[in-house]
Amino acid sequence: MSQLTANKTMSRKTKNFFELALIYIVVAIAFVIIFYPLLWALGVSLNPGRGLYGASMIPENWSLDHYRWLFTDPRSNYLLWYRNTLAVSASVAFFGTLITALTAYAFSRYRFKGRKNGLYAFLLVQMFPVLMAMVALYILLNTIGLLDSLFGLAIIYVGGSIPMNAFLVKGYFDTLPRELDESAKIDGAGHFRIFFQILLPLAKPILAVVALFNFMSPLMDFILPRIVIRSPEKYTLALGLYNFVNDQFSNNFTRFAAGAMLVAIPVAILYLFLQKYLITGLSSGATKG
């Protein structure tokens, strides 16, 4: 009898062991597939040569030449691109989030004529990416001559981000108890006071998410700058780096890799630090909104 139970626990133990081993193997394979392209790009960026051909993941005589070129060569606009991108990103993050929060506040807390239709309109517009109107943007910007301006680029980002984010924030505002602002109103607080001193602090998580997304879109996006921006000293990072590869593919890939690393590493670190915020903010906005 005892022999039998011992056998059973034995077999369960081995089964346990194999299962766990299998899980670890799957995880290990996933790790390899995730890390390989990233580490390969890092390795290539340290190759002294310029071409893709002959570049290897573990360079024999590694060098920081490409990084040095980006920062010191007079022909390099890299720092300028970095500054352009950060300027656009920061202003989109600030103004986009502010306007979004104001709009969401109105839709969440006030009952006014046209509110329902406004919500429908936002829902509808949210489904159409700005990209869909690129024919029009291209022709229009060409006609008016608003091409080649970082200001115009930032405005398009802010406008395009409003409908979707306003819904996210409105959904979050809806979950905050209305008694809070009602009691503040009784205490004599005005509209703006309620907004800035009561709702905004409570909505920090979702605002952080919206601000981060607004900040990221100019960093990640390459198609809109490609339509709007013409002169190399006004490029954003994504556009400038793309041109390294696009001009002569095999010639500048290592330089692209170096420039890309300097974008990817800080962004990745930021994302990993804020991942909890990002995911809870996103899912709460979608399920409650």
Partner 1 sequence: MSTNNQIKDKQNNLEQNQSKHNPTLAAILSIVPGLGQIYNKRYIKGAVLFIFFAAFAVVMLEFITSGLHGLVTLGEVPREDDSRVFLSNGILALIFSAFYIAFYILNISDAHKDAKKIQAGWKVTGILEGFRNAWDSSFPYFLVGPGLILLIFVVIFPLLFMGFIAFTNYNLYNAPPRHLLEWVGFENFTRLFTIREWRTTFVSVLSWTLVWTFVATTLQIALAMFLAILTNDKRLKFKRVIRTVFILPWAVPSFVTIIVFSALFNDNFGAINVEIIQPLFNTMIPWMTNSTWTRVALIMIQVWLGFPYVYALFTGVLTGISNDWYEAADIDGASRWQKFTSITFPHLMFATAPLLIMQYSFNFNNFNVIYLFNEGGPALRGQTAGGTDILISWIYGLTFNNQQFNMAAAISLILGLIVATFAFLQFRRSRSFKEEGTF
Interaction with partner 1 in 162-221: which residues (CB under 8 A)? Answer: 162-163, 166-167, 171, 174, 191, 219-221
DSSP letter at 199? I
238 binds partner 1 (CB under 8 A): yes
Composition of the chain by helix, strand, coil, percent to 5: 80, 0, 20
Cβ-based neighbours of 67, under 8 Å, separated by 6 or more: 45, 258, 262
Nearer to partner 1, 3 or 163 (CB): 163
Give the sign of the dihedral formed by CA 9, CA 15, CA 21, CA 23.
negative
Write down the least CB distance from residue 74 to partner 1, Å.
25
Q: Residues touching partner 1: how many (CB under 8 A)?
A: 94
Q: Give yes or no for residue 275 binding partner 1 (CB under 8 A).
A: yes
Contact between 37 and partner 1 per CB under 8 A: yes
Q: Distance between CA atoms of 201 and 3, rounded to whole angstroms? A: 65
Q: Is 116 in the site for partner 1 (CB under 8 A)?
A: yes
Cβ 228 vs Cβ 152: under 8 Å: yes
Q: In the set 77, 160, 212, 213, which binds partner 1 (CB under 8 A)?
A: 160
Shortest distance in whole angstroms from residue 127 CB to partner 1: 4
Q: Binders of partner 1 among 83-102, rule CB under 8 A?
A: 99-100, 102
Q: Are 210 and 104 in contact (CB under 8 A)?
A: no
**Binding test (CB under 8 A) with partner 1, winner from 14, 16, 72, 183:** 16
